[in-house]
Amino acid sequence: MNFNGFEITPQSGEAGANNISISVPAVNESIDKVIEIDGVCGDKTSRLTLVHEGLRQRYISADGKVLCTSDGGRYGVLKKKQKIVNQLRLAIVETFMGLGKFVNADNLGGTVSWDYPVASDVYVFVTMESEGDVDETALYLFYAGEKESSQTKYVGNFISYRLEPAEDETFIYEVIITDLR
Amino acid sequence: MANLKIGKFEVSPQSGDAGSTQIGHKLTERHTGRNKYQKLIRASITNPAANASAIETLEIGGLAPFLTLNTSQTEVAYNVTNATINGVSNASKFRVSSTGKTITLVTNTGYTVGGNEGTFTNGFGEMAEGSISIKVQFASNNSNAAETIPVKVEYYNGSTWAVAATHNIIQSSSDADVTFVITPSTLTQFANTGGKQQVSINSNIAYSIELQGDTETTWVTLSRQSGTAGTASLDITAAAQAVGAAARELSIKFKNNVTGSVIGTLAVTQAKGEDFAISWEQDTLTFTNDEVGTIKNNTLTANASWYLEENI
């Protein structure tokens, strides 16, 4: 059976210990895909979380221009940047500051919302400066997400890469938002 | 194309190619809860890069509250002062009354008592019907004639009280010249694995033995169905409970062969079956893009039949 991109066999069975085979049939070119599968037995359920890691592998091997660093590896080698959507800058910065996403180095998911129309996936580059020196640069990826009925509020998933500022340092965040399409 | 099981639904086909595809939906079992039953199904493009999906909602409306009784009457000996009335319901509460002898609703598993009104445990009946056991108490019958106690059982249908049924408790007359002693006078509760218990019966008259009290009595077998004056043993054997089964009970009635009146009773109870259980060996599995096509195994252990569905 295919459950949202995961092949899982069998889908049902009898009492006892059952071997469940799980695979992913294709490369995930998107962000991490996470689904939850419930095993149901009478009135009891047991939940299995399946993760198919996405994007990060795709951008490791591009054209050699490193745009951000991460946990020992290098990510975010992008081939093109077509336009800057300046009006998103402030909202995004405020969102980052509000969510404090720089704190947890392993935080690879979450949701964010902003009040501007986002027509497609958006990449955000964040440069962190400390005492005038560029400390680290990170890539944030926003997915356009689903439009709500108001047509003004958008909610999407984002993936963040590792940045580890010391707690007592002051940082300046410079955000450039790039629509890659 | 395979079918996809989602709760009480089956959906087919489970996959397909580009274009418009008619998807069949089948309801495979009744929904007996009074609340709405709902399942979500996600249809997604196979290519992960597409990141596109559509969610469908399948619903079954709640079943109107009801309460049915398994039997219409119970026979008890003259000195028995309580009886259990079994049935099935998805209601939130019930009440009892009698136009004959005074009865009192007493606490039993599954409900709390306020006067003659019983309130089922919170959540009972919302998503599925369940077994009920209403216990009532009354005075013994010391007269020389049998007494019938008509117990009217009503349930709350969400706005008003509705009559479920009237259950007659027939209390035999006191018969001074009959000696009938069961030792021990009560049985211990049978484990859900089943088992056997033995009692000794001393009687000065011939008697018959029968099982009463519920629609299903085949889970209990007796070593004999009748007896004569004297002392003799009786073996009572209970079968094992199925996984997930509710606790159950019935009554063994000993009747005077001449008058037909009940001269002794013995309650048989059995614990509920083993709870359903299911667990994954690993609760999270992660794939990287280097592992496309790699099969990872995970052991799912359950004590009854099971199926998988996506939590949406």
At B28-46, the pLDDT tens digits run 999 999 999 999 888 887 7
Q: pLDDT tier at B309 (50, 70, 90 boundaries)?
A: confident
Position A56 pLDDT exceeds 50: no
A13 bridge partner residues: B306
**What is the distance between the alpha carbons of residues B175 and B178, in angstroms, rounded to a whole number?**
6
Cβ contact B3:B10 at 8 Å: yes
Query: Tens of pLDDT along B67-111?
Result: 999 889 888 888 889 899 999 999 999 999 999 899 999 999 899
CB contact under 8 A, B311 and A38: yes
* Angstroms from A47 CA to nearest CA on chain B: 7
Position A67 pLDDT exceeds 70: no
Nearest to B292 among A17, A26, A51 (CB): A26
Tell me the residue length of chain A.
181
> Measured between alpha carbons, how far is residue A142 from residues A74, A108, B19 in Å?
19, 12, 30
Cβ contact A127:A171 at 8 Å: no
**What is the distance between the alpha carbons of residues A51 and A108, in angstroms, rounded to a whole number?**
12
Which ipTM did the prediction report?
A: 0.70
Q: In the prediction, which pLDDT does B142 show? A: 84
Q: In the prediction, which pLDDT does A72 show? A: 28
User: For an interface test with B, which of A19, A27, A41 has the most B Cβ atoms less than 10 Å from its Cβ?
Assistant: A41
**What is the distance between the alpha carbons of residues A131 and B73, in angstroms, rounded to a whole number?**
89
Nearest to A2 among B15, B302, B306 (CB): B15
Burial class for B288, CB neighbours closer than 10 Å (0-12, 13-18, 19+): middle
> Measured between alpha carbons, how far is residue B234 from residues B198, B212, B221, B254, B290 in Å?
6, 17, 10, 12, 70
* Angstroms from B158 CA to nearest CA on chain A: 25
Which residues are CB-contacts of B90 (< 8 A; sequence separation ≥ 6)?
A: B32, B33, B34, B63, B65, B66, B124, B125, B126, B128, B129, B130
pTM: 0.63
**What is the distance between the alpha carbons of residues B302 and B289, in angstroms, rounded to a whole number?**
31
Which residues are CB-contacts of B209 (< 8 A; sequence separation ≥ 6)?
A: B222, B224, B225, B226, B227, B234, B252, B253, B254, B255
Closest CA to B28 of B52, B50, B10, B1: B10
**What is the distance between the alpha carbons of residues B301 and A44, in angstroms, rounded to a whole number?**
12
- HSE at residue B267, side-chain half, CA atoms within 13 A, is 15
> Measured between alpha carbons, how far is residue B113 from residues B123, B131, B132, B185 in Å?
16, 17, 14, 28
Mean pLDDT of A22-45: 84
Q: pLDDT tier at B4 (50, 70, 90 boundaries)?
A: confident
Q: Is A165 on the interface with B (CB under 8 A)?
A: no
Name chain B contacts of A40, Cβ cutoff 8 Å: 7, 278, 306-309
DSSP secondary structure, A24-42, as one string: --S---SS-EEEEEEEEET
Pick the residue from chain A with its C-alpha nearest to B296: A22
Q: pLDDT tier at A178 (50, 70, 90 boundaries)?
A: very low
Structure tokens at A31: 């962000």
Q: In the prediction, which pLDDT does B176 show? A: 64
Name chain B contacts of A141, Cβ cutoff 8 Å: none
Query: In this structure, what are the phi and psi dihedrals at residue B291, rounded to the nearest 5 degrees?
Result: -105, 20
Name chain B contacts of A33, Cβ cutoff 8 Å: 48
CB contact under 8 A, B275 and A14: no
Query: Tens of pLDDT along B252-293?
Result: 999 988 888 888 999 999 999 999 999 999 999 999 878 888
Cβ atoms < 10 Å from Cβ of A156? 18
Q: Is A61 on the interface with B (CB under 8 A)?
A: no
Cα–chain-centroid distance for residue B102?
Answer: 28
Q: In the prediction, which pLDDT does B49 show? A: 55
* Angstroms from A93 CA to nearest CA on chain B: 26
Query: In this structure, what are the phi and psi dihedrals at residue B153, rounded to the nearest 5 degrees?
Result: -110, 125
B73 bridge partner residues: B168
Mean pLDDT of B233-247: 94
